[in-house]
Each structure stands twice: as structure tokens, then as C-alpha cells.
A = this chain, B = another copy of it.
């Protein structure tokens, strides 16, 4: 197979374009409106051509999931590497996740569809597995931070409690809050004030204070820290965008 550089680029671009168009349709009109014909018409190539890139509709979704995941992991890693106390870094990760959710409102959809509809034959599993592996790595990174907190003496856990349990709690509440938030349009008002992040961070602060993870929220102003952190991330993003 001889393939010119020109052609390779074109193919790469089209691959991205397919995912991009699929994402727009999914977000704007929902899963039932997403079909290959539609994508084909919008990118201006025939259905057959799309199948040269992706094995099935679900495979396109899986690719979408990979793309978004990569972005999330990037923000996660960058937050985990911030200077400061372990608890500050956990807070930074919380902010990163929240910023990510704002930037990718349809995040859960592709993932859910893949989880529900993908089957052996129809999806290139390396895509999906790659995402799960990334998730696991993030989990491990978070565990590393908790471990450091324990080593420094910031956090003391009961003997029969694994440090993974703490990360599981953080993961759960973050996941749950953002999931509920992204589906909230369907929920009528529940009397919740402020943003998802406000509610979430209040509860996480309580949780980590309850564990006695120092510095406690009475000893350090995590609210102000989060605000700075958010601005920093958005500024970085803007700079990167302009570059």
C-alpha cells in the first residue's frame, strides 16, 4: 500500500471530522437521530467511506469516548501534579473534573451508549479498553495522593480501611453529582441553589473534614483555592487555544 502524506493527512482529518459531526448530532438531537446516513450526508462522503474508518456506529461512539477521555485525563493529570498539600491536589482534581464537565456537556452519553450497546463484533475493543485503562490510572494517581497524605500524617485511617476506599468515595460523589447534573434538565427544580460544583464541593469538604484530613477546611480556604485553580485552568486553555 502506497499512501501519500497528503492522503494520510486527509484521512486523519476525515476521521476526526466524522467523530465531530457524530458528537454534534448526538448532543443536539440525541441517539435516535444518529445514523450513518446522516453523518455521511453531513461530512459529504458516502456511507461506505465511513466504514473504511470505523467498523460500526458503535465504533464511532467508542472513538468519541476515547477522544473525550483523553481530554479528561489530561486535565486530571495536570491537576494531580500541582504543587501544594495532598488535600489541595485533591481539590484541584475536583476543579479539573468540573471544568471538564462544563466543556463537554454530552460526556456521559457516548460512554453510556457504548457500555449498553457495544458488542464484541461491532466495536474495536482496544478503544474501549484504552479508556478503562486510563480510568484505572487516574484511580491509581488519586490513590497515590491519599497515600502521600497518610505518609505525611495529614490523614489517619482506621486500620481496617484501605486507602482505596477514600478514593472510591471521592470518585462516587464526583461521578454521581456530575451525572445527576448532566441529566438535570429532565428533573424539575429540586430547590438546589448554585452550581453543581457548589453543592459538590460543600459535600466533599464535609467528607474529607469528617475523615480528619488536614488541613481541614477551617484551616485552609479551599473555596478561594478552587476559584484560583479554575481561573488558572481556563487561562491555560485559552493560551493553548491561541497557540
The chain A residues found within 8 Å of chain B, CB to CB, are: 30-32, 109, 112-113, 115-117, 119, 132, 135-136, 139, 143, 161-162, 164-166, 168-169, 171-177, 179-180, 183, 186-188, 190-194, 198-200, 202-203, 205-211
A210 to B208, CA, bound (A): 7
Would B193 and A164 count as touching, CB distance under 8 A? yes
A224 vs B136: C-alpha distance when bound (angstroms): 33
Of all A-B residue pairs in the complex, the 5 with the closest CB atoms, nearest first, are A176-B176, A210-B210, A169-B203, A206-B210, A172-B176
The docked-state distance in angstroms from the alpha carbon of A173 to that of B188 is 20
- Known A-B contacts: A164-B191, A207-B210. Give 11 more (CB < 8 A): A31-B117, A112-B112, A161-B202, A168-B177, A168-B203, A169-B199, A169-B200, A173-B176, A175-B179, A206-B207, A210-B211
**Docked-complex contact B211 and A206, CB < 8 angstroms:** yes
Copies in the complex: 2
Pair B169/A202 contact, Cβ less than 8 Å: yes
Q: Which residues of B contact A210 (CB under 8 A)?
A: 205-211
Q: Which listed residue, B116, B132, B175, B198, touches A113 by the CB 8 Å rule?
A: B116
A135 to B210, CA, bound (A): 28
28 A-B pairs, CB-CB below 8 angstroms?
Answer: A30-B116, A31-B116, A32-B119, A109-B116, A112-B116, A115-B183, A116-B116, A132-B186, A135-B187, A136-B190, A162-B191, A162-B193, A164-B190, A164-B191, A164-B192, A165-B192, A165-B198, A165-B203, A168-B177, A168-B190, A168-B192, A168-B199, A168-B203, A169-B199, A169-B203, A172-B172, A173-B173, A176-B176
Taken together as a complex, chains A and B put the C-alpha atoms of A200 and B119 apart, in Å, by 31
CA of A109 to CA of B192 in the docked complex: distance in angstroms? 27
A105 to chain B, nearest CB (A): 15
A208 CA / B194 CA spacing, docked (Å): 21
Chain B contacts for A113, CB-based, 8 A: 116
Chain B residues with Cβ below 8 Å from A168 are: 177, 180, 190, 192, 199, 203
A143 CB contacts on chain B under 8 angstroms: 191
Q: Nearest-CB distance from A224 to chain B (Å)? A: 15
A30 touches B186 (CB 8 A): no
**Which B residues touch A200, using CB under 8 A?**
169, 172
| Contact A165 to B190, CB < 8 A, known contacts A32-B117, A112-B112 | no
